[in-house]
């Protein structure tokens, strides 16, 4: 068991590599597939908002690659071909038919070895993670058993990364499988010990003002640290890297994800996220026009969350109604943003938007609202 914390400067030799990956259409297409795949296979573990946020952010290929370059063991990273990284299944069936659901899994070939493959398993753990090695051992056997059933002659290398959050840095050795096993009267382990090795990124040990990586990664990790270390009220500072994002659509998407997580974290800590706090935070990130868009999104997130909570209380499990509600909320966000910018909207545009149900398509319209100088420009984009 080991931990190795590395902080690369933004001028390091790896920064150019990220730009190279960003130009790859293959990576972008994988990112969309990742979101679809992970959304379909999202484990139902209600209540753990931190796990959900981590998976929602790090399932995006570019952010995950950025994380590997800045936080994973550089010796390991130097041996894998990051340009060919791709999402892998998070569901595996063990030898006894029991299902294992992993947080995130990515597949990546080793450099200069045609048939060799690495499965990178990304796991989030909270303050206490004593059972992590046993859990990871179960994951490893499930992955290998699945590969054996598929007829593979050479099993994948498995590289475990555990991101730990908590109020304080971890002290002392990291948990081992042997900690759970029976010992004799002299305290010695009995029998064979199947030990598992994993790499730990202990976020409480990192300085929140000196985080590495691109703006999306720094904002996500900063927010995660704030929400898990008892510094909820300082979320505005953690969101500042969002101002560095050039792509308007990406800015809006990451802002929405973070604000949704922050609102849930405040609720979990029995606090209320006031609109005034959010508006103040957004002023430091966006120009006046996009600030209005982002503020509208927050207002809609809060209203949508309250409405969804009430709906769940009345009718648990009404999936179709919930899907319609999400579509309606997305339509309302776009229409509210349009009215904020252009005041009056023709009925035909409203009808077109009301006819849309794809959440991704509706979310992309927010960017069109921001970038369109006239309603005609927006209507052309809508077509």
* Residue 147 confidence (pLDDT) above 50: yes
Is 114's pLDDT higher than 70?
no
pTM of this prediction exceeds 0.85:
no
CB 122 within 8 A of CB 85: no
Tracing tokens 């969804």 back to the chain, one arrives at 308
Share of residues in the chain with pLDDT > 90 (%) = 24
- Give the pLDDT band of residue 302 (cuts 50, 70, 90): low
pLDDT of residue 214: 95
- pLDDT the model gives residue 246: 87
- How many whole angstroms separate alpha carbon 348 and alpha carbon 364? 19
pLDDT at 332 over 90: no
- Position 120 pLDDT exceeds 90: yes
**Worst-scoring range by mean pLDDT, 262-271, 315-324, 349-358?**
315-324
Question: Can you tell me the mean pLDDT for 185-202?
Answer: 87
- In this prediction, residues 8-18 reach a mean pLDDT of 43
The string of DSSP letters for 55-72 reads: HHHHTSHHHHHHHHHHHS
Higher model confidence: residue 97 or residue 358? 358
The reported pLDDT for the residue numbered 189 is 84
Helix (H) or strand (E) holding 91: strand 91-93
| Model confidence at 158: pLDDT above 90 | yes
């Amino acid at each position: 068991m080991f931990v190795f914390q590395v902080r690369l400067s933004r001028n390091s030799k790896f920064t150019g590599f990220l730009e190279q990956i960003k130009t790859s259409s293959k990576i972008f297409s994988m990112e969309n597939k990742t979101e679809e795949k992970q959304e379909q296979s999202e484990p139902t573990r209600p209540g753990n908002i931190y796990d959900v946020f981590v998976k929602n952010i790090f399932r995006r290929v570019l952010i995950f690659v950025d994380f590997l370059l800045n936080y994973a063991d550089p010796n390991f990273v130097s041996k894998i071909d990051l340009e060919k990284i791709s999402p892998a299944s998070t569901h595996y069936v063990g030898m006894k038919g029991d299902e294992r659901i992993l947080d995130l899994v990515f597949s990546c070939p080793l450099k200069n070895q045609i048939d060799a493959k690495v499965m990178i398993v990304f796991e989030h753990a909270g303050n206490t993670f004593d059972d992590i090695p046993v859990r990871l051992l179960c994951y490893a056997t499930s992955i290998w058993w699945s590969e054996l059933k598929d007829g593979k002659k050479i099993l994948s290398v498995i590289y475990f990364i555990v991101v730990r959050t908590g109020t304080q840095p971890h002290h002392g050795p990291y948990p081992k499988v042997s900690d759970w096993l029976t010992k004799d009267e002299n305290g010695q382990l009995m029998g064979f010990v199947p030990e598992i090795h994993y790499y730990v990124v202990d976020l409480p040990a990192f300085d929140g003002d000196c985080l590495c990586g691109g703006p999306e990664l720094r904002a996500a990790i900063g927010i995660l640290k704030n929400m898990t270390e008892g510094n909820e009220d300082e979320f505005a500072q953690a969101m500042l890297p969002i101002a560095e994002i050039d792509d308007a659509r990406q800015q809006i998407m990451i802002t929405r994800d973070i604000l949704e997580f922050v609102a849930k974290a405040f609720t979990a800590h029995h606090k209320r996220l006031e609109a005034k706090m959010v508006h103040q935070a957004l002023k430091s990130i966006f120009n006046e026009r996009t600030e209005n868009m982002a503020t509208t999104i927050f207002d809609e997130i809060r209203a949508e969350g309250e409405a969804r909570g009430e709906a769940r209380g009345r009718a648990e499990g009404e999936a179709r109604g919930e899907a319609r509600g999400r579509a309606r909320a997305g339509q309302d966000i776009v229409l509210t943003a349009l009215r904020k910018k252009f005041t009056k909207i023709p009925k035909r545009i409203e009808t077109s938007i009301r006819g849309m149900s794809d959440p991704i398509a509706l979310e992309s319209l927010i960017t069109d609202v921001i970038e369109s100088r006239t309603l005609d420009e927006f209507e052309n984009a809508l077509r």
